[in-house]
Amino acid sequence: MEIHVAFMRLNAALHTFSSAVSADTKLTLSEIVAAEHLRLDGPLTPKELSHRVQVGSGGTTAIIDRLERRGFARRVAHPTDRRSVLVEAVEQGEAVARRPVALEQAV
């Protein structure tokens, strides 16, 4: 039972934290997850990003479009496949992601 309670507290803290990040950045949870994957693992193809965010191709396209419009990501030509693009984090997105957000303040 202690593990269950600990998990529930962690889940509540993560929800509160993600809500604070969302309010700060004006991004949805899916956009935050996508931006973090691009920042930590990118650049990625849209298909790779789709798998990581667990959203279909149409939803991924919409997420990338919104991240681009908001200045958090950009599409660039794939260096070896002219039919494909890569999505990468841009400096503004990097700066926002690195901004300290104290978890204990969010909880």
Query: What confidence score (pLDDT) does residue 93 get?
Result: 58
pLDDT tens digit string along 37-70? Answer: 999 898 999 999 999 999 999 999 999 999 999 9
Query: What confidence score (pLDDT) does residue 53 get?
Result: 94
Query: What confidence score (pLDDT) does residue 95 get?
Result: 54
**Left (φ > 0), alpha (ψ -120 to 50) or beta: where does 54 sit?**
left
**Phi first, then psi: what are they for 23, rounded to 5°?**
-65, -35
d(CA 105, CA 82): 46
User: What does the chain look like in DSSP terms, one character per residue?
Assistant: -HHHHHHHHHHHHHHHHHHHHHHHHT--HHHHHHHHHHHHH-SB-HHHHHHHHT--HHHHHHHHHHHHHTTSEEEEE-SS-TT-EEEEE-HHHHHHHHS---HHHH-
**pTM, to two decimals:** 0.75
Residue found by looking up tokens 């419009």 in the block:
69
